[in-house]
């Protein structure tokens, strides 16, 4: 029999429903993994073991009497430490909030609990979900960054400390750590998952996202957290994949480009319709649009806190806020207006394609934990608000995961997930970190 920690989320949920996996034994198995690896990975900020075991016991009793709260009944999940959790410390990765205990759950956490999930604990976020790193290390090689800002969520899923976790992405904070840690991730369109009681970095760019070890698991998590049902459409295989090279290949390592091209070739050989997609002219201003919106909104969010606690801010966030304070209203509005045009132009890319395919990072996770890597490959898609899935498909020469970033048309999460499942079946990525 498989070790419980190796179950995917859907396998664990099915086993609990079938009575072959006890929720208590499951969380105890995950605690056992934590005891073995957490001192090296450092993915967690707060875990209330007593509370988790008590909730697992309740789920177990309910399951025995045939009562199930929802599709995630008894399944433990990790929560990035910027989502409010009722009665459970929520630090935002900042000394300012080191003792903050919310009196309510974030809406997304409420939805997960309603679906039967157990909050296993709070995962490390970089300081206020920006670029100043936390202590988390990459489970594939602890001398390398796990990426960020959702560092702990990605690392915890990769290290088998939980089957799924949630995070947020304002530029590249889900896709990049997923790529570096070799797990699957989904960032749906902003309106799909509520950000109520999630500490913001930049309101108009912030997105909730999820990590798991299969695309099917991502879909279950999305359905559990979505504010309204995500539409289903008939699948239309053979799927049409647009490979976007341009900017993305200019910023990728030779190895990342080569492995991405190899994947495109494998998909074409497997029957996918694969062609190159070319970026529109307005793409040239995507970085100034993104940077102007990000700086201005972050400066506004932190206006009061920063005035009182500037010394506690990391250097990267401090610089972001201070430069944001220099931007005048007309330039911010200009950036917002150009963003709309950018979204319209980028959406036209999907006329001949179901999904677009790009590398999700420059290459494998960089060495060192002083930086979380560069979100340059994710920002263009976060700015569009198009849904993205990141999926590991290969290993670098150094034995670190290499992933692909798949982007769907606006609000087409279901089609994106269908294509991602089909690609997942072709790549059959089974490597795992050796901790």
Partner 1 sequence: MNLQEIAEEKFGKDRAEELRFEIEQLAAEIEKLRSVPLDIDDEP
Residues in touch with partner 1 (CB under 8 A): 282, 284-285, 287-289, 291-292, 295, 319, 322-323, 325-327, 331, 333-341
Nearer to partner 1, 36 or 336 (CB): 336
Please tell me the distance from the alpha carbon of residue 243 to that of residue 390, in angstroms, as a whole number: 15
Q: CB of residue 301 vs partner 1: minimum separation in angstroms?
A: 18
- Rounded Cα gap, residues 18 and 186, in angstroms: 28
Backbone angles phi, psi at 118, to 5 degrees: -105, 130
135 vs 288, which CB is nearer to partner 1? Answer: 288
Supply the minimum distance, in Å, between the C-beta of residue 369 and partner 1. 23
DSSP code per residue over 10-37: HHHHHHHHHTSS-HHHHHHHHHHHHHHH
Q: Which is nearer to partner 1, 226 or 285 (CB)?
A: 285
Residue 325 or 426: the one with the smaller Cβ distance to partner 1 is 325
How far, in whole angstroms, is CA 181 from its chain's centroid?
Answer: 11
Q: Cβ 340 to partner 1, closest distance in Å?
A: 6
CB of 131 to partner 1, least distance (A): 13
DSSP assignments along 306-352, one per residue: HHHHGGGS-HHHHHHHHHHTT--HHHHHHHHHHHHHHHHHHHGGGSS
Cα–Cα distance measured from residue 158 to residue 184, given in angstroms and rounded to the nearest whole number: 9
Give least dist CB 331 to partner 1, A.
Answer: 5
Which of 166, 335 has the CB closer to partner 1? 335
Q: Which is nearer to partner 1, 58 or 336 (CB)?
A: 336
User: Of the two residues 253 and 343, which places its CB atom closer to partner 1 in the complex?
Assistant: 343
> In the complex, what is the shortest distance from the CB of residue 222 to partner 1, in angstroms, rounded to a whole number?
28
Which of 95, 113, 324, 314 has the alpha carbon at shortest distance from 225?
Answer: 113
**Closest distance of CB 150 from partner 1, Å:** 25
What are the residues facing 404 on neighbouring strands?
Answer: 391
Residue 145 CB, shortest distance to partner 1, in Å, is: 22
For β-strands 164-169 and 207-212, DSSP reports them as antiparallel
Kindly tell me which of 266 and 345 has the beta carbon lying closer to partner 1: 345
**What are the CA-CA distances from residue 334 to residues 28, 283, 337, 342 (Å)?**
53, 16, 5, 12
- Residues 419 and 186: beta-carbon distance below 8 Å: no
């Amino acid at each position: 029999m498989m070790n419980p920690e190796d179950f995917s989320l859907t396998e664990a949920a099915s086993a609990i429903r079938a009575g072959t996996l006890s929720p208590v034994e499951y969380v105890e198995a995950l605690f056992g993994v934590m005891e073995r690896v957490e001192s090296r990975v450092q993915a967690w900020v707060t875990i209330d073991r007593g509370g988790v075991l008590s909730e697992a016991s309740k789920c177990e009793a309910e399951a025995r009497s045939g009562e199930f709260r929802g599709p995630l009944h008894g399944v433990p999940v990790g929560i990035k430490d910027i989502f409010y959790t009722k009665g459970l410390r929520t630090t935002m990765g900042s000394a300012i909030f080191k003792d903050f205990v919310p009196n309510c759950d974030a809406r997304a956490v409420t939805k997960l609990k309603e679906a039967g999930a157990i909050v296993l604990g709070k995962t490390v976020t970089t300081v206020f979900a920006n670029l100043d790193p936390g202590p988390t290390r990459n489970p594939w090689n602890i001398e390398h960054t796990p990426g960020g800002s959702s560092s702990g969520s990605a690392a915890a899923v990769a290290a088998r400390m939980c089957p799924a976790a949630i995070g947020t992405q304002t530029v590249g904070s889900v896709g990049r750590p997923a790529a570096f840690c070799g797990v699957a991730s989904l960032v749906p369109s902003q309106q799909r998952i509520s950000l109520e009681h999630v500490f913001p970095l930049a309101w108009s760019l912030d997105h909730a996202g999820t990590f798991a070890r299969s695309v099917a698991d991502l879909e279950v998590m999305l359905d559990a957290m979505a504010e309204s049902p995500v539409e289903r459409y008939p699948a239309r295989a053979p799927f049409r994949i647009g490979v976007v090279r341009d900017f993305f290949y200019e910023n990728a390592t030779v190895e990342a480009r080569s492995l991405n091209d190899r994947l495109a070739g494998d998909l074409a050989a497997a029957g996918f319709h694969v062609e190159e997609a070319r970026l529109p002219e307005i793409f040239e201003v995507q970085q100034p649009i993104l940077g102007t919106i990000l700086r201005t909104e972050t400066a506004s969010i932190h206006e009061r806190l920063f005035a009182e606690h500037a010394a506690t801010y990391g250097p990267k966030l401090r610089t972001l806020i201070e430069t944001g304070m220099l931007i005048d209203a007309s330039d911010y509005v200009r950036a917002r207006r150009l963003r709309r045009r950018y979204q319209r132009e980028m959406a036209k890319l999907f006329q001949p394609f179901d999904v677009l395919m790009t590398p999700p990072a420059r290459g494998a996770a960089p060495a060192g934990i002083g930086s979380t890597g560069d979100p340059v490959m994710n920002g263009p898609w976060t700015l569009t608000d198009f849904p993205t899935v990141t999926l590991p498909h290969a290993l670098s020469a150094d034995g670190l995961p290499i992933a692909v970033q798949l982007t769907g048309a606006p609000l087409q999460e279901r089609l994106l997930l269908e294509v991602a499942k089909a690609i997942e079946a072709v790549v059959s990525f089974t490597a795992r970190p050796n901790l």
